[in-house]
Structure 1
Amino acid sequence: MISEKTVWEDLSGIFADPPKMRNMCEKCKRPVTVCWCSGLPKTRLRPQSRLIILQHPAEEKRCLRTVPMLSLALEQEKCLTYRGKKFPQVKHEGLQEILHDSNTILLYPTTEAVALELLTPVGRNGQKPYNVILLDGTWPQAKAIYHASPVLNSLRACKIVGVPTSQYVIRTQPNEGCLSTLETGAIALSFLENKPCILEEMLRPLHHLCRFQLAYGAVVHHSKDVFFKRKLTKQL
């Protein structure tokens, strides 16, 4: 049985005031010292097309996510996020209509996917703005979402050809052809809107994030492909 003395000793160890918390940025929800908001466009971008993000629930809990960068760089109605493992659901207000819009495309490397560069840019020959569907999560999670959502299989699938090396250097990518959700969305908009400057503007927060993390002890991550190639070379 715990004595009264022990109880009072335990209570005496409790601080009268709660420990001080680090100041957090109201926008990006990161500590002010490593806030990347200074990299955001001075005014939110308003492209004609919009990004529709289908996000796996587990992705929301990750510390180093890039979707908030998209959300804060673009006007609110130009970046919509729906969460779940299967789409659409009753809770996904407005998604059903988007998925059945003839100008909706899916960025996902199916066997029938066409190069994004082959699509007609907005405004040319009367081309209307696109709804660009992005699957946000790890590769296995994105794959699971695609196969669990039959309607996605019927969308016009596109892929980015000649993918540059990901600039998200503090996170390991499955292979050299993988990009973060931010990079994928930024590249897509720059192509579809025929405005290369969009890419540079939207990637600035990512550059800030990586620079801060590297300064605080993070290391540059290479893709798993590079890791296995190096391992194989050493064995030879």
Structure 2
Amino acid sequence: MMAPQARDPETTHAAQDPATGHPRPPRREFKARGSFVERCDGCRLPVLNCLCPYRVSTTSEAEVWLLTHPLEHNKPTNTGRLIADVLPQTQVFDWHRTAPDAGLLALLADRRYVPFVIFPDDQPDYQHRVVDERAVVGVKQDGFIPVFILLDGTWRQARRIFRKSPYLDGLPVLPLHTDRLTRYRLRKPASASHLCTAEVAAELLRKTGDGVAADVLDDYFDAFNESYAASRFYHKIDKPSAPMQRLLDRRMAGSAHLVDPRG
């Protein structure tokens, strides 16, 4: 007679409900959503609808610095990285409460820049710091470089960054007042008036005189939004949308400028 095989205590426990003693179905290996999707190394979107053909770089008088929550930084649905694609001078910093980024601190001390923290003006304790878009225009007229510091994360994360970053305390606060409603389709916001990071940047650029950069970023965001949403349902976009076509036309026009007219 064969001796009974020893059982793995963890396997036995996992196969039995401790409350009822009834057997449980076998556990399947955990896989995160999207873990099987093949992604482009360049844009991090599913290769089915890669965003790279629509990437267009431009310039702006104002710069954008992203202070990104560590839980947000690697999410493929994050739109902050779209800003850096369109505006190469964009700076991206990881936020850690007890370890401020040395590069960010150095830039904050650089007198060429006048940074504005983008945040709602809904609390009384910092009302003395609140300005509007005219302050940004004035900075340009004075020969300095205005900077929009965007707190890149959920609303809860952004409020924590704002409250827990002493090096931001002395900076002017620029709230974004707009009637625009979000077009973001990849996460459900608490309110339609809560714009995602790329939408906020586009609105700020437009309101302060960088219209071309705002238009390019808006189109690039729409291309991202449509490409990612279609890929979730394994749908291949065969015909470019209007924003996609405008980006393709801009790329073509930029390539044409590089051609030597002498042949």
TM-score (norm 1): 0.71
Residues 185, 229 of structure 2: 8 Å contact kept: no
The one-letter code matched in structure 2 to 1:48 is: E
Larger Rg: 2
**Displacement of 1:207:** 1.2
80 and 169 in structure 1: CA distance in 2 versus 1, 3 angstrom threshold: same
Identity %: 21
**Displacement of 1:109:** 1.2
176 and 95 in structure 1: CA distance in 2 versus 1, 3 angstrom threshold: same
For 1:103 and 1:123, locate their aligned partners in 2 and report how far apart those are by CA, in whole Å.
Answer: 7
Q: 1:40 aligns with which of 46, 49, 55?
A: 55
Q: 1:69 aligns with which of 70, 75, 82?
A: 82
Equivalence for 2:259: none
For 1:87 and 1:179, locate their aligned partners in 2 and report how far apart those are by CA, in whole Å.
Answer: 28
**Displacement of 1:217:** 5.5
Is 2:97 aligned against 1:86? Answer: yes
For residues 4-56 of structure 1, give each alpha carbon's deviation from its aligned partner in whole angstroms, at most 9, with x where no partner exists. xxxxxxxxxxxxxxxxx865423212222122233322xx2122321111100
**Displacement of 1:69:** 1.0
For 1:179 and 1:28, locate their aligned partners in 2 and report how far apart those are by CA, in whole Å.
Answer: 21
The one-letter code matched in structure 2 to 1:146 is: F
Is 2:79 aligned against 1:98? Answer: no
206 and 120 in structure 1: CA distance in 2 versus 1, 3 angstrom threshold: closer
For residues 173-214 of structure 1, give each alpha carbon's deviation from its aligned partner in whole angstroms, at most 9, with x where no partner exists. 12233111111122222333x132322211223212322344
For 1:121 and 1:87, locate their aligned partners in 2 and report how far apart those are by CA, in whole Å.
Answer: 34
Q: 1:179 aligns with which of 195, 210, 225?
A: 195
162 and 189 in structure 1: CA distance in 2 versus 1, 3 angstrom threshold: closer
For 1:149 and 1:69, locate their aligned partners in 2 and report how far apart those are by CA, in whole Å.
Answer: 25
Residues 180, 193 of structure 2: 8 Å contact kept: yes
Residues 70, 96 of structure 2: 8 Å contact kept: yes
Q: Secondary structure at the match of 1:199?
A: helix
For 1:217 and 1:163, locate their aligned partners in 2 and report how far apart those are by CA, in whole Å.
Answer: 29
Equivalence for 1:195: 210
**Displacement of 1:118:** 2.6
Equivalence for 2:158: 142
The one-letter code matched in structure 1 to 2:190 is: P
Q: Secondary structure at the match of 1:171?
A: coil
Aligned residues: 193
Residues 44, 76 of structure 2: 8 Å contact kept: no
Residues 140, 146 of structure 2: 8 Å contact kept: no
For 2:140 and 2:66, locate their aligned partners in 1 and report how far apart those are by CA, in whole Å.
Answer: 25
Q: Secondary structure at the match of 2:184?
A: coil
**Displacement of 1:134:** 0.6
Equivalence for 1:209: 224
Q: Secondary structure at the match of 2:216?
A: helix
Equivalence for 1:157: 173
Equivalence for 2:119: 108
TM-score (norm 2): 0.64
Q: Secondary structure at the match of 1:86?
A: coil
Residues 56, 141 of structure 1: 8 Å contact kept: yes
The one-letter code matched in structure 2 to 1:211 is: E
**Displacement of 1:73:** 1.1
Q: Which runs of 5+ in 2 are unaligned?
A: 7-35, 234-263
93 and 179 in structure 1: CA distance in 2 versus 1, 3 angstrom threshold: same
**Displacement of 1:136:** 0.5
